[in-house]
Structure 1
Amino acid sequence: MDLDSPLFNTLHHIMDLTDDTTEKNLNAPTRTYVRDAKAMAATPADVKEHPNSYVFMVDMPGVKSGDIKVQVEDENVLLISGERKREEEKEGVKYLKMERRIGKLMRKFVLPENANIEAISAISQDGVLTVTVNKLPPPEPKKPKTIQVKVA
Structure 2
Amino acid sequence: MTSTCVDVKELPNSYIFVADVPGLKNTDVKVQVENDSILKISGERKRDDNPNHDIKYVRVERSSGKFMRKFNLPANANLETISATCLDGLLTVVVPKIPAPESHRPKTFDIAVANINFVYK
Aligned length: 107
Paired residue secondary structure (1:58):
strand
Q: Which has the higher contact order (CA 8 A, sep 6+)?
A: 2
Describe the superposition over 1:71-122 as per-residue Cα deviations: whole angstroms up to 9, x where unpaired. 0001010001111011132535543322210011211110111110001111
Q: Which sections of structure 1, spanning at least 5 residues, go unmatched?
A: 1-34, 147-152
Structure 1 Cα separation of the partners of residues 71 and 19 of structure 2:
11
Structure 2 Cα separation of the partners of residues 113 and 58 of structure 1:
22
Alignment of 1:75-86 (within 5 A): 75-86=36-47
Structure 2 Cα separation of the partners of residues 128 and 143 of structure 1:
44
Amino acid at match of 1:52: N
The TM-score with structure 2 as length reference comes to 0.78
Structure 1 Cα separation of the partners of residues 73 and 61 of structure 2:
34
State which drifts further: 132-141 or 87-96: 87-96
1:125 and 2:82 are equivalent in the alignment: no
1:59 and 2:20 are equivalent in the alignment: yes
Alignment of 1:3-152 (within 5 A): 35=1, 39=2, 42-89=3-50, 91=53, 94-143=56-105
Structure 1 Cα separation of the partners of residues 60 and 107 of structure 2:
70
Contact 2:34/2:40 (8 A) holds in 1: yes
Structure 2 Cα separation of the partners of residues 93 and 44 of structure 1:
29
Contact 2:39/2:71 (8 A) holds in 1: yes
The share of aligned pairs that are identical, in percent, is 56
Structure 2 Cα separation of the partners of residues 71 and 92 of structure 1:
38
Structure 2 Cα separation of the partners of residues 92 and 72 of structure 1:
41
Which is richer in helix? Answer: 1
Q: Which sections of structure 2, spanning at least 5 residues, go unmatched?
A: 109-121
Structure 2 Cα separation of the partners of residues 81 and 120 of structure 1:
16
Name 1:10's counterpart in structure 2: none
Structure 2 Cα separation of the partners of residues 47 and 92 of structure 1:
42
